[in-house]
Structure 1
Amino acid sequence: MEEANSIINPAASVSAGPVVTKKLFSQLTGLSEETIRGMINRGHLPTFRIGRHRLVNMALITKEALEADYDL
């Protein structure tokens, strides 16, 4: 059982809030921070500004995913 616990991705056990840093979003998705910055700059990821910090808006991503119509 000890071996199974050692191969679990530690980022998977992190609880994400409504907004997350680019670094945490990178860890959660496996994408590089540079890729995430590019996606933000091109408008592909919604962000939320708190002071001078721009955070990825996980709440909006989740809402849009739940409301989307998918072809099955």
Structure 2
Amino acid sequence: MEGIDINLGDQPPPPPPPPLMPWREFADWIRMDHDIVRGWIRRGYIPTVKLGKHMMINVALLLERLRDEDDF
């Protein structure tokens, strides 16, 4: 059986995430159950911004925090 040669260098990099994302869309994006992400929001584990009645995940701040962690 022969292997398949895949050259990933020909593909463009994925687009950067938006700085803010609705929390349900964020949960889908990271493929996590909505109830779990809602719990993270309530506990303050991930940064959020409330815009009117919409709860948004501050993806830019979350990524910055993850980059600043020593273990990451």
Q: Which residue of 1 aligns with 2:51?
A: 50
Query: With structure 1 as the length reference, what TM-score do the two structures score?
Result: 0.69
Q: SS at the partner of 2:32?
A: coil
Provide the residue aligned with 1:63 in structure 2.
64
1:39 aligns with 2:35: no
Correspondence list, 1:11-50, <5 A = 16-50=17-51
**Percentage of identical aligned residues:** 25
Match for 1:23: what amino acid? Answer: R
Q: Any runs of at least 4 consecutive aligned residues in structure 1 with deviations exceeding 6 A, and if so which?
A: none
Number of residues of Structure 1 aligned to a counterpart in Structure 2: 59
Higher helix share: 1
Q: Distance in 2 between matches of 1:64 and 1:22?
A: 18
**Quick check: which has more Rg, 1 or 2?**
2
Return 5+ residue gaps in structure 1 as ranges: 1-12
> Aligned equivalents of 2:32 and 2:24: distance in 1?
10
Cα RMSD, aligned residues only: 2.0
Structure 2 unmatched ranges of 5 or more? 1-13
